[in-house]
């Protein structure tokens, strides 16, 4: 059970959450459970909240901590597949951190 990472564009029309429209801009699928396992074993506060069976929504305000934790885990991996997944997730997180209309959705199976 992997955790896919989706970069979402949020369009808000009014103040009601029912009038928020989301569309996927980019994604990193977790076919081999690489990200899910790295999160479970990370010991990092935010990454430890990632649930391979649930969802976690992060905003641009969450990105400094998320990026720091992803980069911290990335610095300790030697397996090429793990490094590639974390690099792609870091790329999406940086985009999200630069734009307040974006969200990062971490979607378990």
Q: What is the pLDDT of residue 18?
A: 65
Condensed to tens digits (0 to 9), the pLDDT of residues 47-73 reads 999 999 999 999 999 999 999 999 999
**What are the φ/ψ torsions at residue 67 (nearest 5 degrees)?**
-65, -45
Q: Which of 1-15, 24-38, 82-96 has the lowest mean pLDDT?
A: 1-15
Q: Which fold has domain 3-108?
A: Alpha-Beta Plaits (3.30.70)
Q: Is the pLDDT of residue 16 over 80?
A: no
Where in the chain are the domains? 3-108
Q: What is the pLDDT of residue 109?
A: 82
pLDDT of residue 17: 62
Rounded-to-integer distance, Cα 62 and Cα 104, Å: 9
- Classify the phi-psi angles of 95: left when phi > 0, otherwise alpha if psi is within -120 to 50, otherwise beta: alpha
């Amino acid at each position: 059970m992997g955790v896919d990472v989706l970069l979402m564009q949020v369009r808000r029309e009014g103040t009601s959450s029912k009038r928020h429209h989301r569309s996927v801009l980019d994604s990193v699928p977790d076919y081999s459970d690489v990200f899910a396992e790295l999160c479970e074993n990370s010991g990092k506060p935010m990454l430890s909240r990632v649930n391979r069976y649930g969802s976690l929504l992060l905003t641009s305000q969450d990105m400094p901590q998320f990026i720091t934790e992803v980069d911290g885990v990335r610095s300790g991996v030697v397996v090429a597949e793990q490094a590639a997944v974390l690099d792609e997730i870091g790329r999406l997180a940086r985009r999200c951190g630069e734009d307040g209309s974006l969200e990062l959705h971490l979607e378990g199976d």
